[in-house]
Amino acid sequence: MLNYAVHGQLAGELLAPVSKSDLHRLILACALSNGSSLIRRCTLSEDIRATARVMETAGAAVTFGDDNILVEGIGQHNAERIDCDCGESGSTLRFLVPVMAALGQSARFIGHGRLAQRPMQPLLQQLEQHGVTFSLPDNGDWLPMELDGKLQGGCFSFSGDISSQYITGLLFALPLLHEDSQIRLTSPLQSKGYVDMTLRVLELFDITVHPVENGWDIPGNQQYRTPGQLEAQGDWSNAAFWLCAGAIGNHPLTVHGLDLQSLQGDRAVADLLAQMGAQVTTEGHSVTVTPAPLKAITIDGAQIPDIIPVLSVVAAVAQGETHIVNAGRLRIKESDRLHAMYQCLSAIGADVTELADGLILCGKPQLRGGTVDSFNDHRIAMSMAVASLVCKEPVVIRDPLCVSKSYPHFYKDFQALGGDVHVIDLGA
């Protein structure tokens, strides 16, 4: 197995990678439109390739350029069952199951890694109540899954603590139906920022969704109309690694290409770092974080699950006791991220306690370093690379290339900012 030893100090500036969340949504909307669409700026992660691959299987054409994506909308639907390989992408699976059902497309969904174990029941239960049938394996996994039938409109009801990806998938699918539909939530929605991103993309494509109390009304018989050319946003989720590195390192770090008014929930990283004592300055589309003495705070993970791993690294060196709360949903991501961060931070000398839905971290001025597992989780691997900045010795990351899921050039950027990355053999 390949392993990387990472260490050093970072300084300088870089352009934010493109938002994977935004690209998923743009590719899907373009594929559901008539005609051609050009998406300027792209970061071709494994998850984005999975969404493009499935849409091509459904009849779209997706061409990757040097820094853009050309999408031709779905033409003739395939009369036969199609195979939809979602890779390890939860977004691809949860967005496209309801979309294929709305198109009346029989499909077989497969995936890799932990994707077969990630929850699907709330979504499938609602789809089954509206005309869709599923064939599932007998071992309790969700994949491979066979989908048949055509989705019918009506009222779809969910608890607000389910994955926002279920809501996004339905928001893309329901406008395609003949009937009007409603989505209703029985409790406040977590990860609301991701649904707001979806609503923004739908508006760009002339899709009407009416917000109402506890949900949305979605008229049927709508058509996706492409604006022709679009530009994906810079990614606050991946920018968070560099902004946190600026907070705990010895030198300022600047990330360009970020929309300060973005609907991405992970934009909260700038405010949270400022609350912890880092010096955060903004200018135009750039954010600079300069190190300063850090203090403990309480971090609510309900709306920002993807940046909790790297924020826990910052908390590990912030004076006092940081409580990360309402983060139970991290247990059903690419890894059990609460347990993974507990294991990794403990291995490099942090004082960390694992709770059912969070972590408690008692900050230390410096950590010792050591060997950690990535748990085949891109956000764990990148968080531990950032943690190496405050370690006496290098951090050795097992299976580090899982970062290709969302940020293939992460280690290249780490080196460009001054960090050291070396392949290391740990033996058998």
Which residue among the candidates 47, 235, 266, 306 is catalytic per the annotation? 306
Residue 208, token pair as written in the block: 């009407």
- The b/e string for 285-305 (b: 16+ C-beta within 10 A; e otherwise) is ebbbbebeebebbebebbbbb
- Is there a contact between 369 and 393 (Cβ–Cβ < 8 Å)? yes
CA angle 26, 31, 35 (to 5 degrees): 110
What does the H/E/C string look like for 136-186?
CCCCCCCCCEEEECCCCCCEEEECCCCCHHHHHHHHHHHHHCCCCEEEEEC
Number of C-beta neighbours around residue 145 at 10 A: 22
Angstrom CA distances, 106 to 80, 134, 379, stand at 7, 10, 34
Backbone angles phi, psi at 271, to 5 degrees: -65, -40
Q: In whole angstroms, give the CA distance from residue 26 to residue 367.
A: 41
Residues 6+ apart with CB under 8 A from 289: 243, 244, 246, 247, 252, 253, 270, 273, 278, 279, 280
Give yes or no: 357 in active site: no
- Cα separation, 71 vs 38, whole angstroms: 6
Tokens 């969910």 sit on residue: 158
Tell me the torsion sign for CA atoms 140, 141, 142, 148. Answer: negative
Q: Of 233, 290, 226, which is closest to residue 257 (Cα–Cα)?
A: 233
3-state secondary structure of 16: coil
Q: Which DSSP state fits 391?
A: B
Catalytic residues: 306
